[in-house]
Structure 1
Amino acid sequence: MSNALDYLKGLSVLVLFQLLGEGLAQVLPIAVPGPVLGMILLFFVLRQIEPPDWLTKTAGRLIGLLSLFFIPAGVGVFFLPEPIQQQWPAILAAIVGGTLLSIALTGLVLKALTPDIADR
């Protein structure tokens, strides 16, 4: 029973920060999604305190299930063949550009965080 309550507490905290982010997104004049603002808020809070075990356990479990969350979006693509066929060059450019940008930024962050290894 304690295990289920731990997951419930963790999910409650994560949903609370998402709702806080949604509220900020409605108030602030910036075009950033609410869940992203919620993650940023959670990041700054967790930098100040040690995350509780129940929150770490819940987050780890959700990350383990992350691939399942993409199934509905992937299935949805098959039901929109006409719009996808019309916009495939833009979709392909976004995928390739996003991948290259991710690789470049990962390299820059890795180089910045590990300067002793990069200098060898």
Structure 2
Amino acid sequence: MGVFIVNGTHLPIPPSIIGLLLLFLCLRQKWIKVGMIREGAGFLIGFMTLFFIPSMIGVVEYPELLSSKGFFLIVTVFASTILTIYMTGIFSKKIEEKEKGEGEEKSGSHHLYR
């Protein structure tokens, strides 16, 4: 869908980002249930480190990345990685709290004050 949208609208956004936004929208609107993608997402997260190997090979093949401009590139990548990990933690915590709340409602333990 992301490729179709980018090709049709000529947006300067990678199709994978469009796909992630569509998935987020579908999950948010509850058109897709989390259980439907949980197993596949867990599988991909388990192999996530393999996705970083090509970028590491690029650094080895292009030593000029380690020059003064490369230093700023490395700092930027490091900072964005830390920010990504932090934001993922925040979103994961919110999703876990939401799933816990839904589990309590289904089990019949309703609280008068929340």
Q: TM-score, normalised by structure 1?
A: 0.55
CA shift in 2, pair 1:39/1:87, >3 Å: same
- Aligned counterpart, 1:64: 46
Report the 3-state secondary structure (helix = DSSP H, G, I; strand = E; otherwise coil) of the residue aligned with 2:67: helix
Aligned residue pairs, count: 93
Distance in 2, Cα, partners of 1:76 & 1:98: 18
CA shift in 2, pair 1:68/1:88, >3 Å: same
- Aligned counterpart, 2:22: 41
Which of 32, 37, 47 is equivalent to 2:13? 32
Which of 33, 36, 46 is equivalent to 1:51? 33
CA shift in 2, pair 1:102/1:56, >3 Å: closer
CA shift in 2, pair 1:69/1:26, >3 Å: same
Q: Percent identity?
A: 29
Shift of 1:85: 2.6
The alignment yields a C-alpha RMSD, in angstroms, of 3.5
Q: What does 1:1-120 correspond to in 2, within 5 Å?
A: 20-47=1-28, 48-51=30-33, 53-85=35-67, 87-95=69-77, 98=80
CA shift in 2, pair 1:84/1:27, >3 Å: farther
* Runs of at least 5 residues in structure 1 that lack an aligned partner in the other structure: 1-19, 110-120
Q: TM-score, normalised by structure 2?
A: 0.57
Amino acid at match of 1:31: P
Q: Which has the higher contact order (CA 8 A, sep 6+)?
A: 1
